[in-house]
Protein backbone atom coordinates (compact mmCIF):
# COMPACT_ATOMS: atom_id res chain seq x y z
CA UNK A 1 0.00 0.00 0.00
CA UNK A 2 1.40 3.37 -1.02
CA UNK A 3 2.03 5.76 1.89
CA UNK A 4 0.03 8.97 1.94
CA UNK A 5 1.84 12.10 0.85
CA UNK A 6 2.77 14.42 3.70
CA UNK A 7 1.60 18.01 3.12
CA UNK A 8 2.01 21.07 5.33
CA UNK A 9 -0.44 23.94 4.95
CA UNK A 10 1.70 26.88 6.06
CA UNK A 11 -0.11 28.87 8.74
CA UNK A 12 1.29 32.40 8.74
CA UNK A 13 -1.99 34.11 9.60
CA UNK A 14 -3.21 35.00 6.10
CA UNK A 15 -5.02 32.05 4.57
CA UNK A 16 -8.12 29.90 4.79
CA UNK A 17 -6.12 27.01 6.15
CA UNK A 18 -9.05 24.83 7.24
CA UNK A 19 -10.60 24.74 3.76
CA UNK A 20 -7.23 23.82 2.30
CA UNK A 21 -6.74 21.11 4.92
CA UNK A 22 -10.13 19.53 4.17
CA UNK A 23 -9.62 19.64 0.40
CA UNK A 24 -6.18 18.03 0.60
CA UNK A 25 -7.40 15.34 2.99
CA UNK A 26 -10.26 14.64 0.56
CA UNK A 27 -7.77 13.72 -2.16
CA UNK A 28 -5.75 11.45 0.11
CA UNK A 29 -2.99 13.60 1.59
CA UNK A 30 -1.79 13.47 5.18
CA UNK A 31 -2.21 17.14 6.14
CA UNK A 32 -0.88 19.29 8.96
CA UNK A 33 -1.53 22.99 9.53
CA UNK A 34 1.56 24.55 11.08
CA UNK A 35 4.14 27.32 10.90
CA UNK A 36 6.80 25.08 12.39
CA UNK A 37 10.01 25.62 10.44
CA UNK A 38 11.26 22.03 10.46
CA UNK A 39 7.90 20.51 9.51
CA UNK A 40 7.47 22.98 6.65
CA UNK A 41 10.94 22.10 5.37
CA UNK A 42 10.57 18.34 5.69
CA UNK A 43 7.08 17.77 4.25
CA UNK A 44 6.60 16.19 0.83
CA UNK A 45 4.63 19.26 -0.23
CA UNK A 46 4.17 22.78 1.13
CA UNK A 47 0.96 24.68 0.40
CA UNK A 48 0.99 28.46 0.91
CA UNK A 49 -2.50 29.97 1.00
CA UNK A 50 -3.16 33.69 1.09
CA UNK A 51 -6.08 36.02 1.83
CA UNK A 52 -5.89 39.80 2.21
CA UNK A 53 -3.54 42.54 1.08
CA UNK A 54 -0.27 41.71 -0.68
CA UNK A 55 1.88 43.79 1.71
CA UNK A 56 0.28 42.32 4.83
CA UNK A 57 0.69 38.77 3.55
CA UNK A 58 4.34 39.37 2.76
CA UNK A 59 4.93 40.84 6.23
CA UNK A 60 3.27 37.83 7.85
CA UNK A 61 5.18 35.38 5.69
CA UNK A 62 8.52 37.00 6.53
CA UNK A 63 7.69 37.10 10.24
CA UNK A 64 7.10 33.33 10.10
CA UNK A 65 10.29 32.82 8.02
CA UNK A 66 8.11 31.56 5.20
CA UNK A 67 10.10 33.48 2.60
CA UNK A 68 13.22 31.57 3.60
CA UNK A 69 11.36 28.25 3.69
CA UNK A 70 9.91 28.70 0.20
CA UNK A 71 13.28 29.71 -1.22
CA UNK A 72 15.14 26.82 0.37
CA UNK A 73 12.55 24.25 -0.67
CA UNK A 74 12.59 25.41 -4.29
CA UNK A 75 16.40 25.51 -4.35
CA UNK A 76 16.31 21.82 -3.45
CA UNK A 77 13.54 20.97 -5.92
CA UNK A 78 10.98 20.44 -3.13
CA UNK A 79 7.35 21.09 -4.21
CA UNK A 80 5.55 24.28 -3.21
CA UNK A 81 2.05 25.38 -4.20
CA UNK A 82 0.63 28.88 -3.75
CA UNK A 83 -3.08 29.76 -3.78
CA UNK A 84 -4.71 33.18 -4.37
CA UNK A 85 -2.50 35.80 -2.64
CA UNK A 86 -0.20 32.85 -1.97
CA UNK A 87 0.37 32.87 -5.73
CA UNK A 88 0.58 36.66 -6.04
CA UNK A 89 3.42 36.97 -3.53
CA UNK A 90 5.56 34.71 -5.73
CA UNK A 91 5.93 37.62 -8.16
CA UNK A 92 8.34 40.55 -7.85
CA UNK A 93 5.98 43.13 -6.40
CA UNK A 94 2.42 44.08 -5.61
CA UNK A 95 0.77 47.50 -5.85
CA UNK A 96 -2.46 47.99 -3.89
CA UNK A 97 -4.03 51.36 -3.05
CA UNK A 98 -0.79 53.06 -4.05
CA UNK A 99 1.26 50.92 -1.66
CA UNK A 100 4.07 48.98 -3.32
CA UNK A 101 5.52 45.91 -1.64
CA UNK A 102 8.22 43.47 -2.64
CA UNK A 103 7.24 39.86 -3.27
CA UNK A 104 9.32 36.69 -3.26
CA UNK A 105 10.53 37.38 -6.82
CA UNK A 106 10.31 33.80 -8.02
CA UNK A 107 8.89 35.29 -11.23
CA UNK A 108 9.16 38.86 -12.52
CA UNK A 109 5.87 40.69 -12.68
CA UNK A 110 3.59 43.12 -10.89
CA UNK A 111 0.32 42.33 -9.13
CA UNK A 112 -2.08 45.22 -9.76
CA UNK A 113 -5.80 46.03 -9.82
CA UNK A 114 -8.06 44.26 -12.29
CA UNK A 115 -9.71 46.56 -14.80
CA UNK A 116 -13.30 45.33 -15.12
CA UNK A 117 -16.83 46.65 -14.74
CA UNK A 118 -17.39 44.48 -11.67
CA UNK A 119 -14.67 44.14 -9.04
CA UNK A 120 -13.89 41.99 -7.16
CA UNK A 121 -13.87 39.10 -9.59
CA UNK A 122 -15.96 36.74 -7.47
CA UNK A 123 -17.43 33.47 -8.67
CA UNK A 124 -16.86 30.69 -11.19
CA UNK A 125 -14.83 31.13 -14.36
CA UNK A 126 -13.11 29.06 -17.02
CA UNK A 127 -9.38 29.07 -17.68
CA UNK A 128 -7.08 28.70 -20.69
CA UNK A 129 -4.34 26.18 -19.80
CA UNK A 130 -1.41 25.50 -22.15
CA UNK A 131 -0.83 22.17 -23.88
CA UNK A 132 0.75 19.28 -21.96
CA UNK A 133 -0.01 20.74 -18.55
CA UNK A 134 0.23 18.41 -15.58
CA UNK A 135 -1.64 20.89 -13.37
CA UNK A 136 -4.89 20.56 -15.36
CA UNK A 137 -4.50 16.93 -16.42
CA UNK A 138 -7.78 15.04 -16.60
CA UNK A 139 -9.90 18.21 -16.72
CA UNK A 140 -12.23 19.20 -19.54
CA UNK A 141 -11.66 22.44 -21.45
CA UNK A 142 -14.82 23.87 -19.90
CA UNK A 143 -13.84 23.18 -16.29
CA UNK A 144 -14.70 26.07 -14.00
CA UNK A 145 -12.88 27.29 -10.90
CA UNK A 146 -13.80 29.63 -8.07
CA UNK A 147 -12.14 33.06 -7.96
CA UNK A 148 -12.24 35.82 -5.32
CA UNK A 149 -9.80 38.65 -6.05
CA UNK A 150 -9.47 42.29 -7.08
CA UNK A 151 -5.80 42.12 -8.10
CA UNK A 152 -3.88 39.98 -10.55
CA UNK A 153 -0.82 39.72 -12.79
CA UNK A 154 -1.88 40.89 -16.26
CA UNK A 155 1.41 40.43 -18.16
CA UNK A 156 3.79 37.48 -18.09
CA UNK A 157 7.35 38.85 -18.08
CA UNK A 158 9.51 35.78 -17.46
CA UNK A 159 11.80 34.75 -20.32
CA UNK A 160 13.77 31.51 -20.55
CA UNK A 161 17.07 31.95 -22.41
CA UNK A 162 18.47 28.50 -21.61
CA UNK A 163 17.09 26.05 -24.20
CA UNK A 164 17.74 23.16 -21.80
CA UNK A 165 15.25 24.56 -19.29
CA UNK A 166 11.54 24.11 -19.89
CA UNK A 167 9.71 27.46 -19.68
CA UNK A 168 6.93 27.84 -17.10
CA UNK A 169 3.47 26.82 -18.27
CA UNK A 170 1.10 29.75 -17.82
CA UNK A 171 -2.68 29.49 -17.63
CA UNK A 172 -4.88 32.52 -18.31
CA UNK A 173 -8.41 33.59 -17.48
CA UNK A 174 -10.45 36.68 -18.36
CA UNK A 175 -12.49 39.08 -16.24
CA UNK A 176 -12.60 42.41 -17.99
CA UNK A 177 -9.07 41.67 -19.18
CA UNK A 178 -6.80 38.63 -19.34
CA UNK A 179 -4.80 37.77 -16.26
CA UNK A 180 -2.57 34.95 -15.06
CA UNK A 181 -4.77 32.28 -13.48
CA UNK A 182 -2.13 29.63 -12.76
CA UNK A 183 1.54 28.78 -13.28
CA UNK A 184 3.31 25.43 -13.43
CA UNK A 185 7.08 25.85 -13.09
CA UNK A 186 8.99 22.71 -12.06
CA UNK A 187 8.47 22.20 -8.32
CA UNK A 188 6.54 25.48 -8.02
CA UNK A 189 2.83 25.46 -8.86
CA UNK A 190 0.35 28.24 -8.15
CA UNK A 191 -3.26 29.23 -8.80
CA UNK A 192 -5.05 32.56 -8.56
CA UNK A 193 -8.33 30.72 -8.04
CA UNK A 194 -9.21 28.58 -5.04
CA UNK A 195 -9.00 24.85 -5.88
CA UNK A 196 -10.15 24.06 -2.35
CA UNK A 197 -13.46 25.81 -3.14
CA UNK A 198 -13.78 24.56 -6.73
CA UNK A 199 -15.60 21.27 -6.23
CA UNK A 200 -14.62 18.27 -8.31
CA UNK A 201 -12.46 20.32 -10.69
CA UNK A 202 -10.46 21.66 -7.79
CA UNK A 203 -10.15 18.20 -6.29
CA UNK A 204 -8.74 16.87 -9.57
CA UNK A 205 -6.21 19.70 -9.69
CA UNK A 206 -5.08 19.04 -6.11
CA UNK A 207 -4.87 15.33 -6.93
CA UNK A 208 -2.59 16.20 -9.84
CA UNK A 209 -0.33 18.13 -7.45
CA UNK A 210 -0.31 15.38 -4.82
CA UNK A 211 0.69 12.81 -7.44
CA UNK A 212 3.86 14.82 -8.23
CA UNK A 213 5.08 14.84 -4.63
Of these residues, 121, 149, 175, 194, which one is catalytic? 194
CATH class of 6-210: alpha beta
Cα–Cα nearest to 200, from 125, 131, 137, 144 = 144
pTM (2 decimals)?
A: 0.96
Of these residues, 84, 121, 149, 184, which one is catalytic? 84
Question: What would the mean pLDDT of 135-144 be, rounded to a whole number?
Answer: 96
Confidence of residue 163 (pLDDT cuts 50, 70, 90): low
Gap between the Cα atoms of 154 and 175, Å rounded: 11
Gap between the Cα atoms of 67 and 59, Å rounded: 10
The confidence score (pLDDT) of residue 166 equals: 79
Confidence of residue 208 (pLDDT cuts 50, 70, 90): very high
Any catalytic annotation for residue 57?
A: no
* Number of residues that this document lists for the chain: 213
Average pLDDT for the chain: 95
Cα–Cα nearest to 209, from 193, 36, 191, 89 = 191
164 compared with 121, residue with greater pLDDT? 121
Express each pLDDT in 62-86 by its tens digit: 999 999 999 999 999 999 999 999 9
Any catalytic annotation for residue 149?
A: no
CB-side exposure of 61: number of CA atoms within 13 Å?
32
- Partners of 121 in the beta sheet? 149
Any catalytic annotation for residue 196?
A: yes
φ and ψ at residue 153, rounded to 5 degrees: -95, 120
Amino acid sequence: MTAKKDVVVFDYGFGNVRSAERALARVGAEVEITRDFDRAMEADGLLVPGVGAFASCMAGLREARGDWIVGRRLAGGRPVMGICVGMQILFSRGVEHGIEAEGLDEWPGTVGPIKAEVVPHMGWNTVEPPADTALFAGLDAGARFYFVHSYAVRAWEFETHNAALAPPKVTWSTHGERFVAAVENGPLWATQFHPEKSGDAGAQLLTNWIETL
